[in-house]
Amino acid sequence: MSEPQLRSDAFLDTPRTLSFDPVSREPSYLGEHQIKEYNTLGYLSNLFCLDTDAVGEVRDFYSWMQKRLARRAKGFMLNHNWESRSGFLHNLVSTRINLAPVRDIVGQNILAWQTHFFTKLPYEATPVAWHQDASYWPLTPSRAVTAWIAIDATDNENGAMSVIPGSHLYGQLPYISGEAGKTSSVYQTAWKPECYGDSVQLSLAPGEMSLHSDLLLHASGPNLSSRSRCGLVIRFIPPSVRNVRKPGGDSAILCSGTSEDRYWKIRTQPVLR
Ligand SMILES: O=C(O)CCC(=O)C(=O)O
């Protein structure tokens, strides 16, 4: 069998710096051992993020959003970036989540670039293929940290996300392109992910989050249970990161500190729910 065509850069026309920069600042919330863990493994898990009331409000918001979407064509991307139109999500992201562990990793100045609901309905079969987030994004350098926030409990049965510890240290990895929605809900599939180590599945209780580097390989399997698996994902960046596809500057939500760099316009809270 011939080898498929491998790719290693989705943005050939716009070079990016895709390498891991270890965290060296002194933490004020996390322990030193957790910073070491993040640097060597590329992720942290089971961190407190949202209280029970907030989790309930996100669940209500998600149901409301799905009812609105039901009137339109269904699609994975429709769950994307609601924070840019929703006052509720804007407020949640900027004031209600436990940012302390994110601050210890990203620094004092934090922007939320995008959000996404990654949901698997009961018995939903579509897996998420192994991929690196940084490979997809027109951001440079690769300093984004994803908070994967459990709205429902996640475990082996309902398709909790898995990661390959240490895979963030290899920079951009080769991948094959595939059409989203057919075999996976992402369109890059890392080539031979098993070469980078054994995977670990991240079981989370509602309100807990994991944090992962944008270079860490991650994936998830089908939901084999009668339970829903809803996660809210937030992409956090320091303002020194820029979008190479938007030379005039991109926009983001300011969550902490200031945005002293010229690359980002700060979004105001939308009036709509
Ligand atoms: O929710 C999942 O299973 C995958 C999440 C993911 O791919 C991401 O956060 O980039």
Report the 10 Å Cβ neighbour count for 15: 10
Distance between CA atoms of residues 80 and 92, nearest Å: 16
Query: Is the separation of the CB atoms in 60 and 227 below 8 Å?
Result: no
Q: Give the global pTM.
A: 0.93
* Upstream peptide bond of 141 is cis (omega within 30 degrees of 0): yes
Taking the centre of ligand 1 as the mean of its atom positions, its distance from the CA of residue 161, in whole angstroms, is: 7
Q: List pLDDT tens digits, range 208-252.
A: 999 999 999 999 999 999 999 999 999 999 999 999 999 888 999
Query: What domains are defined for the chain?
Result: 32-266 (2.60.120.620)
- Is the confidence at residue 118, as pLDDT, over 50? yes
Who lines ligand 1 at CB under 6 A? 118, 128, 133, 146, 148, 161, 218, 220, 231, 233
In percent, the amount of the chain with pLDDT more than 90 equals: 70
* Average pLDDT score, the chain: 90
**What pLDDT was estimated at residue 85?**
83
Among 92, 106, 97, 93, CA closest to 30: 106
Taking the centre of ligand 1 as the mean of its atom positions, its distance from the CA of residue 1, in whole angstroms, is: 30
Distance between CA atoms of residues 182 and 52, nearest Å: 35
Residue 46's SS3 state is: strand
Task: Using the atom order of ligand 1, give the atom closest to the CA of residue 161.
Answer: 3
- Is the confidence at residue 185, as pLDDT, over 90? no
Residue whose token pair is 């192994």: 130
What phi, psi does 219 have (nearest 5°)?
Answer: -165, 175
